[in-house]
Amino acid sequence: MAGILAWFWNERFWLPHNVTWADLKNTDESTFPQAEDLYLACPLAFCMFMIRLVFERFIARPCALGLKIQANGPQKAQPNAILEKVFTAITKHPDEKRLEGLSKQLDWDVRTIQRWFRQRRNQEKPSTLARFCESMWRFTFYLYIFTYGVRFLKKSPWLWNTRECWYNYPYQPLTVDLHYYYILELSFYLSLLFSQFTDIRRKDFLLMFLHHVATISLITFSYVNNMARVGTLVMCLHDAADILLEAAKMANYGKCQRLCNVLFVMFALVFISSRLGVYPVWILNTTVFESWEIVGPYPSWWVFNVLLVLLQALHTFWSYLIVRIACRAISRGKVSKDDRSDIESSSDEDEVLPPSQKHHTNGTNGAHGTNGYLSSSPCPDEH
């Protein structure tokens, strides 16, 4: 175990040439980021999860009911042991041959069995009220952490001159505000990772799980090797669009269509301008070119920049999906349910078509590939 730890924490990977871990030990004069600082995020993530439950129960739920959002979920399928066994053990989308076999076995017509499977699938999806409460929780957190980040960065010299991210690197002291910012962001994404296993399972479960793991890895990586200054810029930049996305989702659940349309357009503009414009010109420019000039490359520097470049590739893909949704919305005069499926991957399904007709429906449901992204936050994040 000691050999594995020594290999993992190899100074020649993590730190610039001629810098050792001993050089970054805390002293009475200076405090630097320490890997063990991040252990605090685990109990805080649990606390944040509990705060979310209280918030959704006593704040978000009354707000949803005040907007007349229905508390009841979709209609439940009548109990049937045979169909339940097929649903849980074989398939949730039976083909025509299986439907005919079940019809003969149960003496039900095919349409009734199709309706049963549709209702049973909808049972596993969260109600509109539950989705509103979740979005309100995320909106509240993103609004708070973005506001905090802006107030913190306004006083930081590296906001106005990104070269300050690399002057005297890695001997840049850790301030209380910066430590709080990092721990709070990390705790939030850890809580989202945990809650995926307790919330209703959604279509984009694996995608969002990988998104949260990648976000947590980037936050942890930048903290450990003290790239925290540029890390704060990345986090603040990404939180800006998330606020508008969650606000648009809440407006959609509350059936405020015009407000939803306006917020979605604002989200699209902020997302595309920040992640296709500000991110490469501001963030990648300093992490790749300015850091090369001031600090010089070393192994973890390459890893960090490769991850940030891959993030830019995801930004480009997600921007394409958003533009496609926006174009469809413009052509139809509004952001419709077909386009964004209530801005959720888990929205109620339309009436089930006979299997022989399913291959003809791609034209109307082509936007569903974007729903996993839109249901979670831009990106996965992608921070």
Per-residue pLDDT tens for 302-353?
999 998 998 898 889 889 988 988 888 777 765 544 333 333 333 333 333 3
Quickly state the pLDDT bin for 216 (edges 50, 70, 90): very high
**141 residue type, one letter:** F
Q: What average pLDDT does this structure show over 112-134?
A: 87
Q: What average pLDDT does this structure show over 224-230?
A: 95
Q: What is the structure's pLDDT at 333?
A: 62
Contacts of 269 (CB under 8 A, 6+ apart): none
Q: Which of 83-87, 248-252, 266-270 has the lowest mean pLDDT?
A: 83-87
Element (H, E) at 190: helix 176-195
Q: Is the pLDDT of residue 105 over 70?
A: yes
Q: Is the pLDDT of residue 175 over 90?
A: yes
Q: Is the pLDDT of residue 58 over 50?
A: yes
Quickly state the pLDDT bin for 93 (edges 50, 70, 90): confident
State both tokens at 24.
């970054």
State what percent of residues in the chain have pLDDT above 90: 58
Quickly state the pLDDT bin for 354 (edges 50, 70, 90): very low
187, 180 Cβ separation under 8 angstroms: no
Q: What is the structure's pLDDT at 29?
A: 87
Q: What is the structure's pLDDT at 340?
A: 35
Q: Is the pLDDT of residue 358 over 80?
A: no
Q: Is the pLDDT of residue 375 over 60?
A: no
Q: Which of 14-23, 89-98, 354-363 has the lowest mean pLDDT?
A: 354-363
Give the span between the Cα atoms of 233 and 159, in whole angstroms.
7
State both tokens at 45.
């993530």
Q: Of residues 132 and 335, which shows the higher confidence score?
A: 132
Angle at CA of residue 315, ends 312 and 318, nearest 5°: 155
343: left (phi over 0), alpha (psi -120 to 50) or beta: left
182, 223 Cβ separation under 8 angstroms: yes
**What's the chain's average pLDDT?**
84
Q: What is the structure's pLDDT at 370?
A: 34
Q: What is the structure's pLDDT at 163?
A: 97
State what percent of residues in the chain have pLDDT above 70: 85
How many Cα atoms are found within 13 Å in the side-chain-facing hemisphere of 117?
Answer: 28
Taking the mean position of all CA atoms in its chain, how far away is CA 106? Answer: 43
Quickly state the pLDDT bin for 178 (edges 50, 70, 90): very high
Quickly state the pLDDT bin for 363 (edges 50, 70, 90): very low
Q: What average pLDDT does this structure show over 37-46?
A: 96
Q: Is the pLDDT of residue 213 over 70?
A: yes
Q: What average pLDDT does this structure show over 163-184?
A: 96
Q: What average pLDDT does this structure show over 6-27?
A: 92
Which of 3-7, 25-29, 377-381 reaches the highest mean pLDDT?
25-29
Q: What average pLDDT does this structure show over 172-195?
A: 95
Length of the chain: 383
